[in-house]
Amino acid sequence: MSGKQEVIIRIAGSAGDGIASVGDVLSKLASRSGLGVCAYNSYQSVIRGGFVWLQIRISNNKVFNHGDNPDILIPLNQSEYERHKDSVLPGGYIIYNEDKVKVSNKREDVNYIPLSMRALAPQEAKQPVMQNMLLLGAAVKILNLDKSILDDIIRKSFGKKGEEIANANINVINAGYNNVSTVSDFNLVKQDKKYYVITGNYSVAVGAALAGCKFYSAYPMTPATSILHWFVANAKKYGIVVKQAEDEIAAINMAIGAGFAGARAMTGTSGGGFSLMTEAIGSAGMTETPVVIVNSMRGGPSTGLPTKTEQGDLFQALGASQGEYPKAILAPKDPVSAFYMIAEAFNLAERYQIPVIFLIDFLLSNGYYGIQSDELDPSKIKIDRGEILEHVNGDGYLRYKVTETGVSPRVLPGTKGVYYVAATDEHDEDGVLISDIYTDEAKRKKMMDKRMRKMNYIVKDFPLPVVEGDSNPDVTLLGWGSTYGVIREVRELLQKEGIKVNHVHVEYIYPVKKEIADILSKSKKVISIENNYTSQYTKLLRMETGFDVQSKIVKYDGEPFTPLYLLKEVKRYL
């Protein structure tokens, strides 16, 4: 492991053991040291107990996923030591509190660092949760990271609880740091780069605010809840109305109402809440009201896996509500992409007067990603509200006027001298219902054709997918959404082995650009990679373009792909 320029640390224990605190502090320490970082928290939906682990990858370079097996394991109880001890890489370290973890049959290829909380920090040992800081201090010493930065982070993180609490945590950290003589040969070098550690949910919330979102409504549902938390904390600063609704049905109807009134409006949920929203989403399609819906996917069906990741809701998004209507579905690949794409979601919603569904998932929502300070540039966010008429001459205003693009002239409520009916029944150009007494087949067809024509123009606005790697590949790896980071690394590993490979990653999901099939057809073999059971995107691609992907890799156990696992699966097809 001499000179290794990255390290993977896994902290394992139970809910309530302070695992997230260690991950948060380590992430900040790495980012403030100019190091790349990516972390994933595999937790359960319990307040206390269960089996929880958090893995953080720290590197001299930017990293795009949380990696594979750990170099350092920090088990916080006996059961988690037993579960993870064999996963530690040869030459790695196991740092543990010997008061709680008993080690026997030690591996000869692993370094064991036992510390006693009772002996080294007897006063703080009365609070068992503080063992996490003891082991954190030891890890920082082993990695030879800057402890002065760590102390500053602790004071800022715990200072709100009082100076006494902050000092107690630093005392325990010092006990771990000062009682370890081992310093590893990891070559983590403090750099001048400036990183920030963010989550995908943070990117979505900040990007939406900078894109002019003025209304956010939601009912809390993991893993989308922290979007609501950000909006509540920052509503006053950005002039945003935030409503925690009594349920998801109320949340979507509030957002549609705000969009109808002229505000840029958004709601957020996960698959179960999205199920409740679908009828209302159809009403936005019929009334041609712009609204953005974030669905942070988790394992389903029903309550499913509340705190696990999956890409299983694509067809749910495609079929949201009964009937057919124009919509757009976007799925960003990482937090940087999410920051800019949520702004484009609002632009599409208002430009074409449609609902836009924004698919992320647990991995992207709650994962920690280190990004360089210039990657999120507010000046690059462009706002396009579409055509909004400020005044109308005469009495002949047609809200649903038939146009070449299908986009009708829009006025906001309160515009002087203008009024119209906006009903969820089928209607004519003036909004008057056509189905109460007699259904006019010609008018129905005319309005359906008008609405659906928008799709031809929406797809033209979509950029082509990200393509990285060889221009003349023997094999293409196809992915969408949050799988980008792990596929990127596998592509790089294959290229190092001399394999001609590229990576096509789709973020603008629906409507489907036909050019995607043209790009894929240039490769001798296409392998799709999805976190679901039925390889949903390849089904959509075949439905829309006729291109049939024969080789499919799927994962649906609730955990994300890791590089070496995916590399092994790809090689089965090669």
- Reported CATH class of domain 198-380: alpha beta
Q: What is the mean pLDDT of residues 54-82?
A: 96
Q: Give the span between the Cα atoms of 53 and 76, in whole angstroms.
A: 10
Contact of 554 with 332, CB cutoff 8 Å: no
pLDDT of residue 2: 52
Q: What is the mean pLDDT of residues 549-570?
A: 97
- Reported CATH class of domain 466-573: alpha beta
**Cis peptide leading into residue 223 (ω within 30°):** yes
CA nearest to 178, candidates 140, 149, 152:
140
391 pLDDT exceeds 90?
no
Q: What is the mean pLDDT of residues 453-461?
A: 98
Percent of the chain with pLDDT over 90: 86
Q: What is the DSSP letter of 473?
A: -
Cβ neighbours for 160, distance < 8 A, ≥ 6 positions apart: none
Q: Give the span between the Cα atoms of 481 and 83, in whole angstroms.
A: 30
Q: Would you tell me how many other CB atoms lie within 10 Å of the CB of residue 122?
A: 11
pLDDT of residue 1: 44
CA nearest to 225, candidates 160, 306, 161:
306
The CATH code belonging to domain 6-193 is: 3.40.920.10
The rounded mean pLDDT for the chain is 95
Report the 3 state secondary structure along 252-293: HHHHHHHHHHCCEEEEEECHHHHHHHHHHHHHHHHHCCCEEE
Cβ neighbours for 353, distance < 8 A, ≥ 6 positions apart: 288, 289, 290, 386, 407, 408, 410, 454
Task: Note whether 198-380 and 466-573 share their fold.
Answer: yes
Q: Give the span between the Cα atoms of 97 and 81, in whole angstroms.
A: 11
Q: Give the span between the Cα atoms of 489 and 562, in whole angstroms.
A: 9
CA nearest to 134, candidates 144, 124, 145:
124
394 pLDDT exceeds 70?
no
Find tokens 């008057």 and name the residue.
Answer: 432
Contact of 427 with 448, CB cutoff 8 Å: no
Q: Give the span between the Cα atoms of 40 and 221, in whole angstroms.
A: 19
484 pLDDT exceeds 70?
yes
pLDDT of residue 201: 98
- Retrieve residue 493's tokens: 């590993």
- The C-alpha angle 169, 170, 173, rounded to 5 degrees, equals 90
CA nearest to 134, candidates 166, 162, 167, 95:
95
Contact of 329 with 314, CB cutoff 8 Å: yes
Contact of 271 with 297, CB cutoff 8 Å: yes
- Retrieve residue 550's tokens: 């024969």
Calculate the alpha carbon distances from 439 to 279, 285, 287, 435 in Å: 22, 20, 18, 4
Domain ranges in the chain are 6-193, 198-380, 466-573
Q: Tell me the backbone φ, ψ of residue 531, rounded to 5 degrees.
A: -90, 60
324 pLDDT exceeds 90?
yes
CA nearest to 326, candidates 449, 445, 201, 454:
454
Q: Give the span between the Cα atoms of 135 and 173, in whole angstroms.
A: 7
Least confident of 41-45, 176-180, 289-293, 357-361: 41-45
pLDDT digits 0-9 by tens, 485-511: 999 999 999 999 999 999 999 999 999
Q: Would you tell me how many other CB atoms lie within 10 Å of the CB of residue 22?
A: 22
Q: What is the mean pLDDT of residues 223-234?
A: 98
pLDDT digits 0-9 by tens, 10-34: 999 998 888 999 999 999 999 999 9
Q: What is the mean pLDDT of residues 254-275?
A: 98
**Cis peptide leading into residue 511 (ω within 30°):** yes
Q: Give the span between the Cα atoms of 572 and 380, in whole angstroms.
A: 42
pLDDT digits 0-9 by tens, 137-167: 999 999 999 999 999 999 988 877 778 888 9
- 241 three-class SS: strand
